């Protein structure tokens, strides 16, 4: 695991929306929402909120990291295997605001690595305001052929790691008045045929999100985002005909974009001070009639 080597540096960032609600209350009159000006400028320094995004190197995780960074956050980009992509993203974000991004490697199946990841982020940035549990493994498991390794991998990445990361992050989030978003799945509530272990792991994460909202209140809010069909897996798990059927089943008749998820995450972290224990489906209405 390695934090970025660039020290935090004073600078500016463009939007007060970037600030968490508690910080916004201190700086703005929330009734009049003076923060609405996209051109307002706030000094960035150790004061800028810090968000840890797991599985941030590629795909949905990278979109979340970009969106939070665009809102003014400093971002801790976690990865396991996608080192080159993680470093490239950190360089891209650092070029926009020096010292605002750093990469951290960890295998989330290694339980000891989870508090170590949180400690490394806090050591690098000095604070932690947001945790986004996005990393996930995803593949089918046929009943009768499922081995312990697949069970441990799917449960470990989708359920156990989010719990132990929340546990480790909780004191830092409480200090900052921060927030968690867990990336769930619409199939947490209606299992995806052929994927019983993955579906059960996400169902666990759905329940855990609500349970942790209770456990970490009132200082820390915990919410979830449940994506529908956003990005097809790289490994061709869904043949074209299946993809077309899934998209046809959405109310809006189209697949989503990683930015759809990123926008929802940003809302729940930055702009939803009175929301906790909720799981927001971002799925073009598919779960309304699954
Ligand atoms: N894509 C969709 O349409 C969709 C639909 C429903 C739900 N979701 C949920 O949305 C989130 C993001 O989706 P996605 O498709 O972008 O995810 P993804 O590409 O399948 O996986 C994201 C990252 O998770 C990391 N990861 C997996 N196992 C790990 C482990 N044991 N330790 C550390 N990192 C691990 C990998 O990082 P490295 O590459 O660095 O190894 C991977 O790049 C996931 O939680 C997923 O379940 C997505």
CA 109 to ligand 1 center in whole angstroms: 13
CATH dotted code for 11-224+258-284: 3.40.50.720
Q: What is the spatial distance between Cα 65 and Cα 77, in angstroms, rounded to a whole number? A: 7
The per-residue pLDDT for range 213-235, each reduced to its tens digit, is 999 999 999 999 999 999 999 99
Is the overall model pTM greater than 0.85, yes or no? yes
198 catalytic? Reply is yes
Report the nearest atom of ligand 1 relative to the CA of 57.
40
Q: What percent of the chain has pLDDT over 90?
A: 83
Residue 257 has pLDDT above 80, yes or no: yes
Which residue has the CA at smallest separation from atom 1 of ligand 1? 231
Residue 16 has pLDDT above 80, yes or no: no
β 50-53/42-44 pair status? unpaired
The per-residue pLDDT for range 95-149, each reduced to its tens digit, is 999 999 999 999 999 999 999 999 999 999 999 999 999 999 999 999 999 999 9
With a Cβ cut-off of 6 Å, ligand 1 is lined by 55, 57-61, 79-82, 107-109, 134-138, 157, 183, 185, 227, 229-231
Which residue has the CA at smallest separation from atom 46 of ligand 1? 136
Report the nearest atom of ligand 1 relative to the CA of 78.
40
Residue 30 has pLDDT above 80, yes or no: no
Which residue has the CA at smallest separation from atom 48 of ligand 1? 227
CA 65 to ligand 1 center in whole angstroms: 13
Q: Summarize the confidence of residues 54-75 as an average pLDDT.
A: 98
What distances in angstroms separate CA 83 from CA 86, 114, 130, 133, one per listed residue? 5, 18, 22, 18
CA 44 to ligand 1 center in whole angstroms: 30
Beta bridge partners of 280: 225
Query: Which of 163, 198, 267, 274 is flagged as catalytic?
Result: 198
Q: In which element (H, E) is residue 209 found?
A: helix 196-216
Reported as half-sphere exposure (CB side, CA atoms, 13 A), residue 195 has a value of: 21
Residue 34 has pLDDT above 50, yes or no: no
CA 233 to ligand 1 center in whole angstroms: 9
Q: Where are the alpha helices (DSSP H) in 7-160?
A: 21-27, 59-70, 83-96, 113-125, 148-155
């Amino acid at each position: 695991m390695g934090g970025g080597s660039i020290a935090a540096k004073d600078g500016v960032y463009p939007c007060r929306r970037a600030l968490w609600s508690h910080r916004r209350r201190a700086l703005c009159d929330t009734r009049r929402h003076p923060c609405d000006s996209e051109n307002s400028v706030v000094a960035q320094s150790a004061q800028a909120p810090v968000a840890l995004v797991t599985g941030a190197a590629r795909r949905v995780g990278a979109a979340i990291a970009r969106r939070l960074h665009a809102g003014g956050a400093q971002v801790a980009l976690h990865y396991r295997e996608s080192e080159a992509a993680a470093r490239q993203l950190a360089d891209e974000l650092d070029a926009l605001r020096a010292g605002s991004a750093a990469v951290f490697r960890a295998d989330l199946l290694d339980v000891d690595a989870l508090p170590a990841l949180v400690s490394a982020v806090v050591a690098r940035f000095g604070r932690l305001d947001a945790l986004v549990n996005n990393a996930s493994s995803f593949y089918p498991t046929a009943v009768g052929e499922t081995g312990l390794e697949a069970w441990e991998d799917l449960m470990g990445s989708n359920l156990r790691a989010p719990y132990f990361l929340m546990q480790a992050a909780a004191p830092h989030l409480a200090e900052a008045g921060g927030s968690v978003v867990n990336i769930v799945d619409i199939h947490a509530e209606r299992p995806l045929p052929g994927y019983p272990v993955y579906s059960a792991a996400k169902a666990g994460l759905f329940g855990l999100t609500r349970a942790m909202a209770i456990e970490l209140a009132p200082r820390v809010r915990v919410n979830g985002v449940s994506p529908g069909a956003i990005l097809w897996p790289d490994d061709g798990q869904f043949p074209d005909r299946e993809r077309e059927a899934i998209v046809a089943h959405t109310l809006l008749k189209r697949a989503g974009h990683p930015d759809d998820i990123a926008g929802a995450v940003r809302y729940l972290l930055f702009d939803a001070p009175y929301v906790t224990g909720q799981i927001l489906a971002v799925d073009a209405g598919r779960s309304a009639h699954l």
